[in-house]
């Protein structure tokens, strides 16, 4: 009996390894293939016979992308938009999330649910009026305007995710600090936020990744090189100039590099945050 039990456990363990390795391969392969393509010469990409490993390495696509297209400007625009988005979320979302985590007041549940339901509004339904409004207030085609538009779906996410981290910081700590001589705001800034700082960093990075990746709002709300972000720019290049695959691959690799690095660094805390936020939702 014991033998068959451990035998069946072994079989399941092997099956688990097999599944995970297969899935990991499927997940990583498109990225690897794009990476390979980005360092292949044109003759290795466009061939009659498939060339798997590059016959010789080249960084020409990267150099050409960086020098000949407006890519650096796109990346800078994206960086600005992303930073402003994170900043807005940080300033308004942190305190809101703290209030939800700490205080019970009439309408609290409804308000929190409201923040969640906001995500149900179709993007298109918001994009069109935002286009009109942004045009009226002169924020159309600006990084700040785009960042403000991003907060429409990222701020609720930020608040929900961060709330999980604030919930995890014991309430008694603030009571202790208040008795020790802090005001509420002093306790929040001096005690609670330092404790939740890992969560705060993870939440910010999550929002940053989402803002960095966003395509649809950017497509609609930016109209010129002055504020266009990289996903829109890359997509336009594909449409307009029949962008060679090598260059497209290089653009993709450059763009996801920060995402992959950030994700690898903070994935543990971030995963915890996303799940607590979502579980409670």
Residues 83-102 that bind other proteins (CB under 8 A): 88, 91-93, 95-96, 98-100, 102
Q: Read out DSSP for 147-163? A: HHHHHHHHHHHHHHHHH
DSSP 8-state symbol, 1: -
Cα 203 off chain centre by:
9
The verdict on 219 binding other proteins (CB under 8 A) reads: yes
Phi-psi category of residue 223: left, alpha or beta, with phi > 0 → left and psi -120 to 50 → alpha:
alpha
Binding string to other proteins for residues 168 to 197, with x set by CB under 8 A, is what? --x-xx-xxxxxxxxxxxx-x--x--xx--
Choose one: 40-48, 59-67, 68-76, 79-87; the region binding other proteins (CB under 8 A): 40-48
Alpha carbons within 13 angstroms on the beta-carbon side of residue 143 total 22
Minimum distance between the CB of residue 67 and other proteins, rounded to whole angstroms?
21
The verdict on 241 binding other proteins (CB under 8 A) reads: no
H or E, element range at 206: helix 197-213
CB 145 within 8 A of CB 134: yes
Nearer to other proteins, 80 or 238 (CB): 238
User: What SS3 class is residue 13?
Assistant: helix
- Which one among 3, 55, 240, 264 touches other proteins, defined by CB under 8 A? 264
The verdict on 261 binding other proteins (CB under 8 A) reads: no
Contact set for other proteins, span 108-147 (CB under 8 A): 111, 115, 118-133
- Which one among 75, 140, 207, 234 touches other proteins, defined by CB under 8 A? 234
Nearer to other proteins, 19 or 76 (CB): 19
CB 264 within 8 A of CB 274: no
Give strand ranges (E) for the chain: none
- Which one among 6, 7, 23, 59 touches other proteins, defined by CB under 8 A? 23
The verdict on 223 binding other proteins (CB under 8 A) reads: no
CB 51 within 8 A of CB 44: yes
- Which one among 10, 28, 76, 87 touches other proteins, defined by CB under 8 A? 28
Minimum distance between the CB of residue 175 and other proteins, rounded to whole angstroms?
5
Burial of 281 (0-12, 13-18, 19+ CB in 10 A): middle
The verdict on 53 binding other proteins (CB under 8 A) reads: no
**Site for other proteins (CB under 8 A): how many residues?**
112
The verdict on 199 binding other proteins (CB under 8 A) reads: no
CA separation for the pair 163, 210 (Å, rounded): 18
């Amino acid at each position: 009996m014991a033998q068959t039990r451990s035998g069946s456990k072994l079989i399941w363990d092997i099956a688990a390894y097999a599944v995970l390795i297969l899935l990991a391969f499927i997940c990583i392969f498109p990225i690897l293939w794009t990476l390979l393509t980005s360092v292949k010469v044109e003759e290795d990409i466009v061939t009659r016979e498939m060339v798997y490993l590059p016959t010789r390495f080249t960084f020409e696509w990267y150099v050409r992308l960086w020098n000949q297209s407006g890519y650096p400007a796109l990346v800078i625009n994206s960086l600005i938009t992303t930073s402003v988005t994170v900043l807005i979320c940080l300033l308004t979302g942190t305190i809101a999330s703290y209030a939800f985590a700490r205080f019970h007041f009439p309408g609290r549940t409804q308000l929190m649910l409201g923040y969640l339901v906001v995500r149900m509004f179709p993007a298109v339904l918001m994009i069109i009026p935002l286009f009109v409004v942004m045009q009226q207030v002169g924020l159309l085609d600006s990084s700040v305007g785009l960042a403000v538009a991003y907060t429409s779906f990222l701020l609720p996410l930020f608040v929900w995710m961060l709330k999980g981290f604030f919930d995890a910081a014991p309430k008694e700590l603030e009571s202790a600090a208040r008795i020790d001589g802090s005001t509420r705001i002093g306790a929040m800034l001096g005690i609670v936020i330092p404790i939740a700082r890992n969560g705060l960093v993870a939440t910010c990075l999550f929002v940053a990744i989402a803002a960095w990746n966003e395509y649809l709002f950017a497509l609609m709300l930016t109209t010129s090189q002055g504020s266009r972000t990289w996903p829109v720019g890359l997509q336009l290049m594909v449409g307009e100039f029949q962008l060679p695959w090598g260059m497209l691959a290089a653009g993709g690799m450059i763009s996801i590099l920060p995402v992959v690095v950030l994700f690898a660094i903070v994935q543990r805390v971030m995963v915890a945050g996303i799940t607590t936020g979502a579980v409670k939702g």
